[in-house]
Amino acid sequence: MSAVLPDIQTEADIRALVDSFYDRVNADPLLSPVFNDVAHVNWAAHLPRMYDFWSGLLLHTNRYRGQPFARHIPLPIGSGHFQQWLHLFCRTVDALFAGPIAQEAKLRAGSIAHVFEHRMRAVNNPLSIL
């Protein structure tokens, strides 16, 4: 019999989600090089920003300030990167949580991946949106 997973409800849940997700990203052969070798992410600074970002989306805390898309423009990323990012995110949510807020997290992540991918395509090839 499997244990019932909790829903995302607290800041500790947000931290667990973000930390577990980025552990997967750092172990992923497609995404890790982008984050670590190209973007040179400062994890000590990035993770608290991501706590604030996801806390804002899921717990309505309104702490996040920033424009995340702009940081992605110079990166060599395409559809496969966004699909893998979303796959890892959803797997992380499903491994840790279940419930309406967990579903909302996956929906939000899907929307983010879709919008970022579309906008990156438009920035890198403006004629692609015609």
State the binding site: 46
d(CA 1, CA 121): 45
Q: Which residues carry a binding-site annotation for heme?
A: 46
Q: Which of 113, 108, 112, 98 is nearest to 13 (CA)?
A: 98
Residue 42 token pair: 């400062």
64 near 53, Cβ under 8 Å? yes
Rounded Cα distance, 54 and 11, in Å:
9
Q: Write out the two tokens for 71.
A: 């940081």
